[in-house]
Structure 1
Amino acid sequence: MSEQSEDKYWGMPLNTYCMLLHLSQLASIIMPGLGFILPIVMWATNKDKNAEIDKHGKVTLNWMISLFIYSIVCVVLWIVIIGMLGFFILVILNLIFAIIAAVKANDGELWVYPFSIKFFKVEL
């Protein structure tokens, strides 16, 4: 394997791959469920090859699991209307957070999502 191909992940440079790892959670806009599966696949296939991919994958998964828990709470609260507002806020936050994390990743920085529960420990 040549040296140049070793620093490519799915044919992309590291920063581009990490950027797309964060943006991949928005794939559910195109196909329901894809935004949950794609980041996991991207992380799982390359986490052992590069420590940065492992870190970006862990912060993304921490946010996705947290978002899922917050969504369940909003669904339960839907009966008192406030859940509808909470769910709308979660959608907006997910979009904003994914874009911020992607821009930071493209610049070579790791950005930890606010409000995410730490299920996976990330060495900063």
Structure 2
Amino acid sequence: MESNYHTLKRTDNQLLMITHLAQLLTYVTGFGGLIVPLIIWATQKDKVDGMDAHGKSILNFQLSIIVYCILSIPLMIVFGLGILLLILIGILAFVMPIINAIKASNGELPSYPLSLNFVS
């Protein structure tokens, strides 16, 4: 008789919320907005219900932010629009984790706009 112990996942909306808010570490420490959610997702995706979907959304969003920041550098030099792009990225990277943390606390799935699909 097989045990279903390993297939049972707990519901932990607070941890999901913390995982989203951990992205804001970048604004406090200069790094960590990708690393901390990655560690939480990697260690908890098989233990917490919904962590896999939330973690993948966060990683895709953070990697997309990095790509958009890199793309804004030549736009600064060539068109000067890169500065506006960086400001918009900064606002989006600050606001969206808060919105999705609220969604996670309510048991809803996250949605990050303009997020490229790196991890599926």
* TM-score, length of structure 1 as denominator length: 0.83
Query: Quick one: distance in 2 between partners of 1:75 and 1:51?
Result: 39
> Match for 1:76 among 40, 63, 74?
74
What is residue 4 of structure 2 aligned with on the other side?
Answer: none
CA RMSD of aligned residues (A): 1.5
- Following superposition, which runs of at least 4 residues in structure 1 exceed 2 angstroms of deviation? none
Q: CA deviation at 1:51?
A: 4.1
How many equivalent pairs are there?
111
* 1:40-74: CA deviation from partner (whole Å, max 9, x where unpaired): 11111101213401110000001011111111011
Question: Which residue identity is paired with 1:65?
Answer: L
Report the alpha carbon displacement of residue 112 of structure 1 after superposing the two structures with TM: 1.9
Q: Secondary structure at the residue paired with 2:111?
A: coil
| Unpaired stretches in structure 2, ≥5 consecutive residues | 1-8
Segments of structure 1 that go 5 or more residues without pairing to the other structure are 1-5, 8-12
Q: Which residue of 2 aligns with 1:3?
A: none
Which residue number corresponds to residue 10 of structure 1? Answer: none
| Cα distance in 1 between the residues matched to 2:23 and 2:60 | 12
Scaled by the length of structure 2, the TM-score of the pair is 0.86
- Give the whole-Å Cα distance in 1 for the aligned partners of 2:108 and 2:96: 14
**Identical aligned residues as a percent:** 38
Residue in 1 that maps onto 2:16 = 18
Find out whether 1:28 has 2:26 as its counterpart. Answer: yes
